[in-house]
């Protein structure tokens, strides 16, 4: 057996390209595996410690102030004499109204009044006082710490900044100093490190925010902004334009910005941070059958103890939300704050899954290459094998000699891949830090990755190779020794003979060579098909995103969407005034009034109340016809978008019956807008106002081009106080376009990588084809065929199969995506168009063919070197 192995090792010299193919596959797979895991380790190792050490909140919740019960007339009087003494005239009128409601409730005391009152309370810190009182009680009961997290948001040109007061003795969400110091004097600030580097700022530099000059004294991370999504304007963190600043509380109080305060809750005890509260909370909120029973204090104490013993934070949170629904609720900011702290866990999981999947995927491809090489060797050496068998060598002994390739390939590829992975983890870590602000752990060699990089390829490739070789060596010695035993052809070749009869000799010869080995043909076709699937997926994804964004932005001519904390009233026609509401669809009636089957009985739509003179909103159909006038042709008309229409199977002329807080209201479908984004519908603002019980000119949002909203310093303080958020279309578009720029890079990398894989596999296959056909190639040279003619016939045999495989992958991927989206529709309630333009399809095919032709060109050199003397050798 030693001699067999020695013979196999000697034969390696002639199979450099094939060995290289195996080594490269193993290298790539283990390299990516090591890189991704090492980079994620540097984030993850420190992350959980960071959460504990910096006392990052578990959740943010809002105290529920019941303005009909929680405030007594005497308390209110006291407040009017203290915190509510210096109010504006309008605020004073509101307080007077409320005072009357406390004494004698009447019709005027409605939710609208209470919502307005809450804004006044927040402005004068009364809300904080009332909230603290409630939370003090709950904190004792459920054993947690709470603290109001204060933020002011300011947008200045393209820059969005969250300002925060720096307090030395914060109870939670402690900032992490990266360099320099925290502010100790007025006018001093810290900024995010990446923001500083992208904007060329250093410690000691002056920096202007909202027209005021500050001095940068340090760089700091904000521990509750690990994924620092600042606002809905900027769903993807833009390290150049997004910043979080700490300043002294005194500076903070004087700073003008949109307030966005929220209560953070930190559970006392050792809780498992690995369970993602965001996911579990979403599931909990969607549940229908929640417990109605109120727990006793002893029961609560027992649950608290159990939660602390098991580290189950959700047990405590859900108990609190269930039992204290009158006192506390999930606020507007809850989910976004959870996303900021634990979205990174998705990255850990996703990246590690990707690394493992990729490892096994590439190793599987390596197995195919080894399969082809082994089969070829066995075919070439059939006489020797026959002799060995007749001499008494066992099948397993001969099969073992074929382990040279996988063992050598695994060891060399594994070691190189691990080394490469270690080297490349740093740039990947830096890339992660573009998205997450979290301190990094130092790098340390993880023996697990080293062992896996060696052992997984070694075991997988060797085992499968042995099994393959053992199976292929099943023929009896006599059958192997029989001359011409290698001349038989397969069924496919015979079929191809019939099909290619009318073709030219070159074409016939090509197809015959391709069909000679079903295994190789299958590998090339499958590789091209899988690569095609991947390329098509990426192209559709990018195209889809671009389409959705273009479609959405196409209709938006306004620059800012201003949302208000309470209902506003105005007659202005300078801006587009919008009133919005969300209602569930209860019924759908056809044009004859007959009730239709409801596709989803829990489907909500967003109603957007607009005026006939709207300037900035376009509501158009497929043929670009303006649909807004249709809202005013008939009473109670509504326009729905294609997403709603297709998902709920609603047509023009149908009537939708909506649930307006327990009351059914119906509207007739006047038209369907050509748009797929969200579940959006349009209705007359006046009609929606009346339906919701407001005065005719109520609005909650404004679409405007007024540049004053780019910097709230230009607005008066009363308006600033009433604004909940300013949504800048330009900011959003720029933010998304910047990320799409990155996504383009990802697309090109994926296409390049997929093509590189094709290149490796086809190079190996082409090399094997040349070797297999050496005698024929030599014969053709002797007969007088030129090298280029021979290359054209022998090497260019797979082009039609590659093209067909790629073309087949297009409808397959489209069908697969549509099926996946159909499965997802239950959750997302969206209809997403899946298309691939001919240009993009051609681009993908081009990438694939370029890789193929590079592979062929590399093999051409080998072909040109085949000597003429091979044909003259006697067997």
Partner 1 sequence: MKTLYQMNHVSKIYQNSVTKLHALNDISLKLNEGEIIVILGPSGSGKSTLLNLLSGIDHPTNGEILFHGTDLGKMDDKELTFYRRNKLGFIFQSYNLVSNLTVLENIEMGANLSTEPLEMSEILSVVGLQKEKNKYPYQLSGGQMQRVSIARALVKNPKVLFCDEPTGALDEETGKKVLKSLQEINQKYHTTMIIVTHNPSIALMAHTVIRMNSGNIMEITHNKKVVDALELRWA
Q: Rounded to whole angstroms, how far apart are CA atoms 681 and 673?
A: 8
Please identify, using beta-carbon distances, which residue of 555 and 787 lies nearer to partner 1: 787
Please provide the size of the chain in residues.
875
| Of the candidates 533, 535, 527, 530, the residue with the CA atom closest to the CA atom of residue 765 | 527
The SS3 of residue 147 is strand
Burial of 621 (0-12, 13-18, 19+ CB in 10 A): middle
Nearer to partner 1, 649 or 775 (CB): 775
Residue 269: other Cβ atoms inside 10 A: 15
Q: Does residue 486 bind partner 1 (CB under 8 A)?
A: yes
The C-alpha atoms of residue 787 and residue 779 are separated, in whole angstroms, by 12
CB of 350 to partner 1, least distance (A): 48
State the minimum distance, in angstroms, from the CB of residue 43 to partner 1: 56
User: Is residue 783 close enough to count as binding partner 1 by CB under 8 A?
Assistant: yes
Shortest gap between Cβ of 547 and partner 1 (angstroms)? 48
Q: Is the distance from CB of 303 to CB of 180 less than 8 angstroms?
A: no
Closest CB to partner 1 among residues 629, 867: 867
Residue 376 binds partner 1 (CB under 8 A): no
Nearer to partner 1, 232 or 782 (CB): 782
Site string for partner 1, 718-757 (x = CB under 8 A): ----------------------------------------
Burial class of residue 198 in the structure, from the number of CB atoms within 10 Å of its CB (0-12 exposed, 13-18 middle, 19+ buried): middle
Judged by CB under 8 A, the number of residues near partner 1 is 32
Q: Which is nearer to partner 1, 483 or 633 (CB)?
A: 483
Residue 503 Cβ vs partner 1, minimum distance, rounded to whole Å: 11
C-beta closer to partner 1: residue 212 or 775: 775
In degrees rounded to 5, what are phi and psi of residue 805? -60, -45
Does 488 bind partner 1 (CB under 8 A)? Our answer is: yes
Among the listed residues 316, 405, 340, 398, the one whose alpha carbon sits nearest the alpha carbon of residue 369: 405
Query: How buried is residue 375: exposed, middle or buried, by Cβ count under 10 Å (0-12/13-18/19+)?
Result: middle
Find the binding residues for partner 1 in span 497-516 (CB under 8 A). Answer: 497, 505-506, 508-509, 512-513, 515-516
With binding defined as CB under 8 A, does residue 775 bind partner 1? yes
Q: Is 781 in the site for partner 1 (CB under 8 A)?
A: yes
Burial class for 15, CB neighbours closer than 10 Å (0-12, 13-18, 19+): buried
Give the CA count within 13 Å in the CB-facing half-sphere of 168: 4
Q: In this chain, which stretch among 195-203, 353-361, 483-491, 736-744 interacts with partner 1, using CB under 8 A?
A: 483-491
Task: Pick the stretch among 348-356, 559-567, 593-601, 771-779 that binds partner 1 (CB under 8 A).
Answer: 771-779
The region of 221-229, 278-286, 711-719, 781-789 touching partner 1 under the rule CB under 8 A is 781-789
Q: How far is the CB of 860 from partner 1 (least distance, A)?
A: 16
Q: Give whichever of 127 and 509 is closer to partner 1, judged by the CB atom.
A: 509
Is 785 near partner 1 (CB under 8 A)?
yes
Determine the Cα–Cα distance for residues 304 and 71; give it in Å rounded to an integer: 30
Q: Which string of x and - marks every residue 836-875 that binds partner 1 (by CB under 8 A)?
A: --------------------------------xx-xxxxx
Output 486 or 714, the one with its CB closest to partner 1. 486
792 interacts with partner 1 by CB under 8 A: no
Q: Does 518 bind partner 1 (CB under 8 A)?
A: no
Min dist CB 402 to partner 1, Å, is: 24
Shortest distance (Å) from residue 235 CB to partner 1: 59
Residue 835 falls in which region: left (phi positive, over 0), alpha (psi -120 to 50) or beta: beta
- Please identify, using beta-carbon distances, which residue of 72 and 786 lies nearer to partner 1: 786
Under rule CB under 8 A, residue 305 binds partner 1: no
Distance of closest approach, residue 491 Cβ to partner 1, in angstroms: 12
The secondary structure element, H or E, covering residue 387 is helix 382-391
Which region, judged by CB under 8 A, interacts with partner 1, from 426-434, 542-550, 641-649, 773-781? 773-781
Interatomic CA distance for residues 175 and 172, integer angstroms: 9
Number of helices and strands (H, E) in the chain?
Answer: 30, 21
CB of 380 to partner 1, least distance (A): 14
Q: Are strands 242-247 and 188-191 parallel, antiparallel or unpaired?
A: antiparallel
Matching residue, tokens 């649909």 = 627
Please tell me the distance from the alpha carbon of residue 804 to that of residue 807, in angstroms, as a whole number.
5
Is 491 one of the binding residues for partner 1 (CB under 8 A)?
no
Q: What are the strands, taking DSSP E only, across 248-306?
A: 258-259, 262-267
Structure token digits, residue 205: 């530099």
Note whether 520 binds partner 1 by CB under 8 A. Answer: no
Transcribe 104-117 into DSSP letters. Answer: S--TT--HHHHHHH
Contact 801, 525 (CB under 8 A): yes
487 scored as a contact of partner 1 (CB under 8 A): yes
**Which residue stretch of 474-482, 604-612, 758-766, 775-783 sits at the interface with partner 1 (rule: CB under 8 A)?**
775-783
Q: Which of 756, 765, 854 is nearest to 513 (CA)?
A: 765
Per the DSSP assignment, residues forming a β-bridge with 152 are 163, 259
Q: Does 776 bind partner 1 (CB under 8 A)?
A: yes
For the CB of residue 790, give the shortest distance to partner 1 in the complex, in Å: 10
Segment holding 845, helix H or strand E: helix 838-864
Nearer to partner 1 by Cβ, of 50 and 509: the residue is 509
What are the residues binding partner 1 (CB under 8 A)?
484, 486-489, 493, 497, 505-506, 508-509, 512-513, 515-516, 775-776, 779-786, 868-869, 871-875
């Amino acid at each position: 057996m030693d001699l067999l192995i020695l013979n196999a090792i000697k034969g390696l010299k002639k199979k450099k390209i094939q060995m290289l193919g195996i080594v490269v596959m193993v290298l790539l797979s283990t390299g990516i595996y090591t890189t991704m895991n090492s980079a994620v380790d540097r984030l993850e190792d420190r992350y959980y410690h960071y959460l504990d050490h910096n006392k990052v909140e578990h959740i943010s919740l809002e105290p529920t102030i019941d303005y009909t019960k929680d405030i007594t007339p005497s308390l209110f009087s006291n407040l009017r004499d203290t915190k509510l003494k210096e109010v504006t005239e309008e605020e004073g009128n509101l307080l007077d109204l409320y005072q009357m409601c406390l004494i004698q409730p009447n019709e005027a005391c409605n939710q609208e009044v209470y919502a307005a009152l809450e804004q006044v309370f927040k402005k004068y810190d009364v809300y904080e006082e009332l909230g603290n009182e409630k939370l003090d009680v709950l904190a004792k009961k459920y054993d947690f710490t709470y603290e109001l997290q204060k933020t002011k948001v300011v947008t200045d040109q393209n820059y969005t900044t969250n300002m925060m007061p720096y307090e030395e003795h914060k109870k939670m969400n402690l900032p992490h100093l990266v360099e320099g110091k925290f502010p100790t004097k007025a006018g001093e600030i810290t900024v995010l490190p990446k923001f500083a580097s992208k904007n060329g700022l250093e410690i000691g530099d002056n920096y202007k925010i909202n027209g005021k000059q500050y001095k940068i004294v340090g760089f700091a991370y904000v521990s509750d902004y690990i994924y620092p999504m600042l606002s809905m304007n900027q769903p993807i963190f833009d390290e150049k334009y997004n910043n979080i600043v700490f300043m002294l509380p005194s500076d903070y109080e004087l700073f003008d910005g949109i307030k966005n305060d929220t209560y953070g809750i930190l559970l006392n005890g050792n809780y498992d941070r690995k369970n993602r509260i965001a996911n579990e909370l979403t599931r909990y909120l969607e549940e229908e059958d929640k417990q109605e029973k109120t727990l006793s204090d002893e029961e609560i104490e027992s649950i608290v103890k159990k939660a602390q013993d098991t580290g189950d934070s959700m047990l405590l949170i859900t108990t609190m939300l269930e039992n204290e629904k009158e006192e506390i609720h999930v606020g507007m900011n809850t989910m976004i704050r959870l996303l900021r702290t634990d979205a990174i866990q998705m990255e850990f999981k996703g990246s590690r899954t990707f690394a493992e999947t990729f490892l096994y995927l590439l190793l599987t491809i390596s197995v195919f290459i080894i399969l082809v090489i082994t089969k070829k060797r066995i075919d070439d050496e059939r006489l020797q094998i026959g002799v060995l068998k007749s001499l008494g060598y066992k099948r397993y002994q001969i099969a073992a000699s074929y382990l040279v390739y996988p063992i050598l390939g695994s060891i060399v590829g594994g070691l190189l891949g691990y080394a490469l992975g270690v080297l490349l983890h740093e740039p990947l870590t830096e890339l992660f830090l573009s998205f997450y602000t979290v301190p990094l752990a130092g790098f340390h060699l993880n023996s697990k990755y080293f062992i896996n990089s060696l052992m997984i390829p070694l075991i997988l490739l060797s085992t499968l190779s042995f099994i393959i070789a053992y199976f292929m060596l099943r023929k009896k010695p006599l059958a192997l020794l029989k001359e011409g035993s290698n001349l038989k052809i397969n069924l496919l070749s015979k079929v191809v003979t019939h099909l290619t009869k009318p073709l030219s000799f070159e074409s016939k010869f090509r197809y015959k060579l391709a069909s000679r080995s079903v295994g190789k043909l299958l590998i090339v076709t499958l590789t091209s098909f899988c690569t095609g699937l991947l390329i098509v997926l990426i192209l559709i994804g990018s195209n889809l995103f671009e389409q959705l964004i273009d479609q959405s932005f196409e209709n938006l001519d306004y620059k800012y969407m201003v949302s208000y904390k309470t209902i506003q009233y105005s007659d202005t026609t300078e801006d587009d005034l919008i009133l919005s509401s969300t209602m569930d669809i209860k019924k759908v009636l056809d044009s004859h009034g007959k009730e239709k089957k409801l596709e989803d009985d829990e489907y909500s739509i967003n109603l957007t109340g607009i005026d006939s003179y709207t300037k900035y909103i376009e509501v158009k159909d497929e043929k670009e016809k303006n649909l807004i006038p249709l809202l005013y042709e008939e009473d109670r008309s509504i326009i729905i978008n294609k997403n709603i229409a297709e998902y709920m199977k609603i047509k023009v002329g149908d009537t939708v019956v909506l649930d307006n807080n327990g009351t059914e209201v119906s509207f007739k479908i006047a038209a369907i807008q050509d748009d797929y984004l969200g579940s959006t519908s349009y209705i007359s603002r006046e009609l929606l106002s009346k339906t919701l019980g407001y005065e005719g000119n109520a609005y909650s949002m404004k679409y405007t081009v007024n540049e004053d909203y780019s910097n709230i310093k230009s607005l008066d303080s009363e308006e600033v106080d009433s604004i909940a958020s300013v949504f800048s279309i330009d900011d959003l578009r720029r933010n998304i376009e910047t990320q799409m720029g990155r996504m383009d890079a990802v697309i090109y990398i994926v296409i390049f990588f997929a093509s590189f894989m094709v290149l490796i596999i086809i190079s190996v296959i082409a090399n094997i084809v040349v070797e297999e056909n050496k005698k024929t190639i030599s014969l053709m040279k002797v007969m007088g065929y030129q090298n280029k003619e021979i290359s054209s016939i022998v090497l260019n045999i797979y082009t039609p199969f590659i093209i067909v495989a790629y073309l087949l992958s297009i409808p397959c991927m489209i069908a697969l995506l549509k099926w996946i989206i159909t499965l997802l529709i239950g959750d997302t309630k969206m209809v997403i168009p899946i298309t691939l333009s001919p240009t993009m399809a051609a681009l993908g095919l081009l990438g694939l063919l370029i890789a193929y032709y590079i592979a062929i060109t590399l093999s051409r050199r080998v072909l040109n070197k085949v000597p003429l003397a091979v044909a003259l050798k006697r067997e």
